[in-house]
Amino acid sequence: MTGLSDMEELLGRIENKAMVDYMREAIGCYHAGAHRGCIVLSYIALFDDLSQKLHELAKTNKTAKKISKDVKQRQNDQEIFETYMVDQLKSAKLLTEPESSMLEQVRVCRNKAAHPSGVHASPEEARFVFFEVIDKFLSKPLLLTTQAVDALMERLENTNFFPTNDIKETKDIVLSELAGLHDAAFPYLTEQLIAACNDSTKSVAQNARRFLVGLSYLQREDITDHLRKRLVKAKADDTDFSNIIVRVSAANPLVLSGHNQPTLLRLRSLLDDAVSEAKPTVAVTQLSHPVYLLNAMLDTLDQKQVLEAFKDFAEKVVVKYRYTGTLVKLLDGSAELKKLWLSRLKMEAGSSTFDTANRFAANAPEIDDLLAEIIKPRDAFELVVAVCDAADTGAFTSRDLRSARFSSVPVLRDLAVQYAEKYPKPAGKLVKDAGVATDLDEFVADFLDDPD
């Protein structure tokens, strides 16, 4: 049961600070042993607060507007309005069943306390009413209402609802919209947004998807759970929702965890397709880009979990975007993915297929400045030897890279030189086995030394 110190702490949870004075005075009554006074003041604060919330809701909701008008009239006429207001709010589904039930309990306690029936209010009853009034009502920002969500959904048709694509700014807009909703309305909101994702009106569908991404980016546990169940699990079998599932997952990868095997199989297929179908025009900074998603997954989830549940996806991303700087940077945190990436580069650099070998020679400069943090000197030396081998085979871009003494990849070249200087015997063996020079000295002089 709530104690005296707890009663003081509860005041900090009250949303409408105008109600704090009522409740502080109620505590004063409790301290003085006036338990009836504590109950009555809590009751007054409760219905004043409900009236104000109803008035705010009336600005956007026709049903609430009518109820508010009738309640106001009853108040002005000095008539009892509380029971009428509760009945109307309950009938309009602006209150949940548990909330309506609690209001009835508070009303019964208040009636017992407010009339000279010979029944004295106990300390326990006073504390009960005080706690429930704050916990169930005064601490909530607004009334629960599906109508408030419906009003929000109607506004999604507005083309300037989200004036920016920036995820942080989208999150801020979503937060401001949620301020007008009771937490218990979030499941209904989520369902409505999902249903609107494929709306025939382009702005509605687009804004619904952005809103879902913004919700996900909040990374609130309750919202994450709603999205995990109602979107990711429920729609994983529907390719119409593939893109939004990818974006919501990139905003908060936790929605990908905790699924059963059938859902996991569907998600694997969905993510694999996301890699295969990714358009080159999509920037790596966008949530729908596979590299962005993989990076977010490795940052948020346990790496072992990612590689066990979504190994094919991770490997496909590494292979497809092996020359993308953002991808290369994230490899430093994953030995398994780095090993895959490096083996792919070595195979490509020394390939006997011209197009394959030329691809490495052409793209290596794009990631050269990152190599010092990712690969070891031996790896660099092996890559240089592989390029020279491909050049001997006839790969023209590999020949150009070798002829320029690897000047366009200075980090790679310097690492290779370090290895040759520190480990001449194994370096010489690599050169001899590949047949790219008679010995290490010749190899370094012909291909790695700066001619100046």
**Mean pLDDT to the nearest integer, 125-134:** 94
Sequence-separated (6 or more) residues with CB below 8 Å from residue 364: 323, 349, 383, 401, 408, 409, 412
Question: With bands split at pLDDT 50, 70 and 90, how would you rate the model's confidence at 329?
Answer: very high
Looking at residue 93, what is its pLDDT?
A: 78
Sequence-separated (6 or more) residues with CB below 8 Å from residue 314: 294, 297, 306, 307, 337
Beta carbons of 203 and 158 less than 8 angstroms apart: yes
Give the CA angle between residues 201, 149, 100 to the nearest 5°. 155
Q: Is residue 237 over pLDDT 90?
A: yes
**Mean pLDDT to the nearest integer, 305-312:** 95
- For the chain, report the end-to-end CA distance as a whole number of angstroms: 85
Beta strands in 176-222 (DSSP E): none
Looking at residue 1, what is its pLDDT?
A: 45
Distance CA 425, CA 219 (A): 54
Distance CA 124, CA 121 (A): 8
Report yes or no on whether pTM surpasses 0.75.
no
Sequence-separated (6 or more) residues with CB below 8 Å from residue 2: 10, 127, 128, 130, 131
Tokens 């607004």, residue?
A: 142
Whole-number average pLDDT of the chain: 92
Looking at residue 151, what is its pLDDT?
A: 85
Sequence-separated (6 or more) residues with CB below 8 Å from residue 390: 349, 350, 351, 352, 357, 358, 360, 361, 398
Half-sphere exposure of 218 (CA within 13 A, CB side): 22
Domain spans, the chain: 4-141, 145-321, 322-452
Q: 155-213, pLDDT tens digit by residue? A: 999 999 999 999 999 999 999 999 878 776 788 899 999 999 999 999 999 999 999 99
**Mean pLDDT to the nearest integer, 401-411:** 97
- What angle, rounded to 10 degrees, do the helices at 377-393 and 335-349 form? 30
Q: What percent of the chain is modeled with pLDDT above 70?
A: 96
Residue 19 DSSP code: G
Question: With bands split at pLDDT 50, 70 and 90, how would you rate the model's confidence at 390?
Answer: very high
Looking at residue 117, what is its pLDDT?
A: 61
Q: Would you report the helix, strand and coil content of the chain in percent, each value rounded to 5? A: 75, 0, 25
Buried b (16+ CB within 10 A) or exposed e, 221-242: eebbbbbbebbbbebbeeeebb
Q: 290 vs 78, 320, 340, CA distance in Å?
A: 64, 10, 17
- Helix H, strand E, coil C: the string for 92-121 is CCCCCHHHHHHHHHHHHHHHHHHCCCCCCC
**Mean pLDDT to the nearest integer, 53-67:** 80
Q: Is residue 116 over pLDDT 80?
A: no
Beta carbons of 179 and 141 less than 8 angstroms apart: yes
